[in-house]
Amino acid sequence: MNKIGYLYDPFFMLHDTGAGHIETPRRVEAIDELVTEKYDFTPIPSRLGSKEELLMVHDDEYIDWIEHGYENGVRMIISSDTIVSELSYDVALKAATSTKNAIEFFKQGLGKRAFLNLRPPGHHAEIITGQGFCIFNNVAMMARYAQNAGYAKVIIIDFDVHHGNGTQDIFYEDPTVFYFSTHEKNNYPFTGSEDETGKGEGVGFNRNIPYHDYLEDEELLSFYDRLPKDFDFDMVLVSAGYDLMKDELISSAQITFDGIRGVVRKILDYAGDKPVAFLLEGGYNIDSLVHSVDVTLEELVK
Ligand SMILES: [Zn+2]
C-alpha cells in the first residue's frame, strides 16, 4: 500500500461565502470526515506562508488589494460569486502556501502521492486577479514550489469541468510547466479553445480539450490519449475539480463514478513513479463530491 499524504486545515472553512453559495465550507469538511473515517493517511501540516511567496504567481498590486480588501470595503472580486470575507485573504494565503509542505512530503521521500483538501479553489485565479470562486492559484503556487525544490518540469492536468484560465494565464509563456485541460466548451469562463497552445517559448506546452455538452465517460477517457508523450516531467499536479459529475448542477457533463475512477487511473498510470498530487478545485453537490473523492483515494492507495 502506498503512503498517501493528506493536507487539510479546518481554517479553510473560515472563508465565508455566505448563505446559499455553492462553494460552501461544508465541501472540505465533508471530505475530511470521509478521510478521517476511512483512510490512514500521513498528515501534511498546513502552513501560513508570507505574502511575498505569492509573487511567484501573482501581481503585487493584486496581492495588496486582496490583503487589505476587506478593511477597505471590498466584498467581491469581479463579480458577486467570488466573495471577499473578513478572513478570505488569510485562508486563501494559507491554502496556497500550504502546498509547499506537500512538496516537502515528496522531497523527504515520505510518499509519492498526496491529496490536498484545499479551499478556496484556485484554477481561475490569473496573475492579476481572482475570479470564479478563486482568490490565489493553489496549483500554480505548488508548481513553483516544486521547481524551487528541484522538480524542474511539472505537468498540471486539470479535469474540472471549467477551463483553468488562471493556470493557463500564469504558465502560457513557460515551457517548464505543461498545462493540460479538459473542460466543457459552453461553460464559464468560456476560454480554453484548442488553438490556445501557448506563447513565445511556451508554444506547445498548453493543451486544451474543450468538449460538447452532456459528455459521457468513454469520450472523456479517450482524451487522456492526448497527454503529452515527450514532456519529461518530474511531478504531476492535478486540478481535481469534481463538477463534471452527472449529479452536479453547474454543468451538463454526465460522468459517472466509474468514469472518474478511470480518469484517476489514467493519470496515475501516466505519472508512473513520479510524485502526483491532487488538489481540490470544484465539486458542489456534497454527496457526489465526497463519493468522487472517495473513488479518487481508493485508486491512490492501490
Ligand atoms: Zn469548476
Q: How many CB atoms lie within 10 A of CB 101?
A: 20
Question: Are the beta carbons of 202 and 174 closer than 8 angstroms?
Answer: yes
Classify residue 283 by burial, with Cβ atoms within 10 Å: 0-12, 13-18, 19+. buried
Neighbours of ion ligand 1 (CB under 5 A): 160, 162, 241, 243, 282
Antiparallel, parallel or unpaired: β 76-77 and 79-83: antiparallel
Which pLDDT value is given to residue 249? 84
Spatial distance between the Cα atoms of 265 and 97, rounded to a whole number of angstroms:
28
Q: Clarify whether 124 is annotated catalytic.
A: yes
CATH code at position 35: 3.40.800.20
Tens of each residue's pLDDT in the chain, 302 residues: 579 999 999 999 999 999 999 999 999 999 999 999 999 999 999 999 999 999 999 999 999 999 999 999 989 988 889 999 999 999 999 999 999 999 999 999 999 999 999 999 999 999 999 999 999 999 999 999 999 999 999 999 999 999 999 999 999 999 999 999 999 999 999 999 999 999 999 999 999 999 999 999 999 999 999 999 999 999 999 999 999 999 998 999 999 999 999 999 999 999 999 999 999 999 999 999 999 999 999 999 99
Q: Which of 15, 58, 123, 124 is catalytic?
A: 124
Spatial distance between the Cα atoms of 93 and 187, rounded to a whole number of angstroms:
28
Domain holding 87, by residue range, is: 4-301
Which pLDDT value is given to residue 61? 97
Q: How many domains does the chain have?
A: 1
CA of 132 to the centre of ligand 1 (A): 8
CA of 236 to the centre of ligand 1 (A): 19
- 4 phi/psi in degrees, rounded to 5: -110, 130
CA of 121 to the centre of ligand 1 (A): 9
CA of 150 to the centre of ligand 1 (A): 30
CA of 273 to the centre of ligand 1 (A): 28
